[in-house]
Amino acid sequence: MTNPTAPTIHHKVIILGSGPAGLTAAVYTARANLSPLLLHGPLAGGQLTTTTDVENFPGFPEGIMGPELMQLMEKQATKFGTEIKVDTVVKADLSTRPFKLQGQSGSYSCDSLIIATGAAPKYTGAKNERELLGYGVSTCATCDGAFFRNKVIAVVGGGDSACEEASFLTRFASKLYLIHRRDSLRASKIMQDRVLSNPKIEMVWNKTVVSVEGNKKDGVTALTLQDTKTNEQSTLPADALFVAIGHTPNSQLFVEQLDMDENGYLLHDADSAATKVPGVFVCGDVQDHVFRQAITAAGSGCMAAIGAERWLEGQHS
């Protein structure tokens, strides 16, 4: 809980989020001597900490594990003077400067704000999906895959995330079903090939999950599926369901303060990371539903940091 008598902590730059976008913004603003404060919620490192091998981040020809990459970025950010604090921001006021942020444990203000709050996993809305989260239903293969060694695992989704999760989970699964609502995958060719050539993976085409069967004591026991063409329902025995159907941007704090698209992704100037509020910059997955890569997030973090640095400089000239 916030202590109402605690003083407001002021920084020239505050960065919200500790994924590749936030940490890159931290490296740049720290190296510009702006002593940034980076605030993040309970999961440090963002979504990359829930992934395994990252094979497409330049500079790591042998690949690198997601959590390790994030630790290295954090080390680099703190080396140059970034202060990192765990505090979930619950309220933001961008109406006047300095901008005000209310965290669960402290109050903050800043001259320039860099928003790198990322995106959160989506759910299918199947019956019992949320109730059995942590009891056989998961959105993170890296976190929970090992709990299902030699078990039957189902993954739902047809994009790169679902294919990546499915391939990774075959390390543990005795059998893996990839359930997709259409008859072709949305994923990139290389990911599709990996999944379709994996003998442990069986595709379940044209099906949605309508209900997750099981309970908190026994975990998941089966899935009730519905055929998207015939509406026929069927039962698929499974011990786990990994949901990998995309993400929702974490932009709720800025509703009615910043412009966003119909899906909640924050909007910024075409040629910079600047929002309509001078001094507020956005980067990473909260503003990108197209690429959503660690490297594009890092690149946009750099743009946001340089934007903030130049904007702050402009305030004093």
Catalytic residue among 143, 183, 193, 261: 143
CB of 258 to ligand NAP, least distance (A): 22
Question: Is 140 marked active-site?
Answer: yes
* Footprint on residues 209-268 left by ligand NAP (CB under 6 A): 245-247
Least Å distance between CB 117 and ligand NAP? 17
CB 117 within 8 A of CB 202: no
Quote the tokens at residue 79: 């080396």
DSSP codes of every residue in 190-231: HHHHHHHT-TTEEEE-SEEEEEEEEETTTEEEEEEEEETTT-
Q: Which CA distances in Å does 119 have to 46, 48, 234, 246? A: 9, 12, 32, 9
The residue (of 160 and 309) whose beta carbon lies closer to ligand NAP is 160
CA distance 231 to 234: 10
158 binds ligand NAP (CB under 6 A): yes
Q: What are the Cα distances from residue 307, in Å, to 10, 25, 137, 179, 312? A: 20, 10, 41, 43, 9
Of 32 and 64, the one with the shorter C-beta distance to ligand NAP is: 64
**Minimum Å distance from CB 239 to ligand NAP?**
20
Query: What is the total count of residues that contact ligand NAP (CB under 6 A)?
Result: 18
Nearer to ligand NAP, 107 or 167 (CB): 167
User: CA separation (Å) from 247 to 56, 123, 186, 265?
Assistant: 20, 9, 15, 11
Lookup: tokens for 193: 């090939």
Q: Are 282 and 92 spatial neighbours (Cβ–Cβ below 8 Å)?
A: no
Instruction: Say how far apart CA 193 and CA 160 lie, in whole Å.
Output: 11
At 5, the amino acid letter reads T
Q: Which of residues 187-206 bind ligand NAP (CB under 6 A)?
A: 188
Q: Which one is catalytic: 87, 144, 239, 288?
A: 144
Token output for 77? 């950010």
Nearest CB to ligand NAP, comparing residues 120 and 302: 120
Secondary structure (DSSP) of 70-82:
HHHHHHHHHHTT-
163 counts as catalytic? no
One symbol per residue from 290 to 309: x for binding ligand NAP (CB under 6 A), - otherwise; what is it? --x-----------------
Q: Which is nearer to ligand NAP, 111 or 160 (CB)?
A: 160
- In the bound state, the residue with its beta carbon closest to ligand NAP is 159
Residues 36-95 within binding reach of ligand NAP (CB under 6 A): none
Binding to ligand NAP, residues 159-188 (CB under 6 A): 159-162, 164, 181-182, 186, 188
Active site residues: 140, 143-144
Name the residues that contact ligand NAP, by CB under 6 A.
124, 156-162, 164, 181-182, 186, 188, 208, 245-247, 292
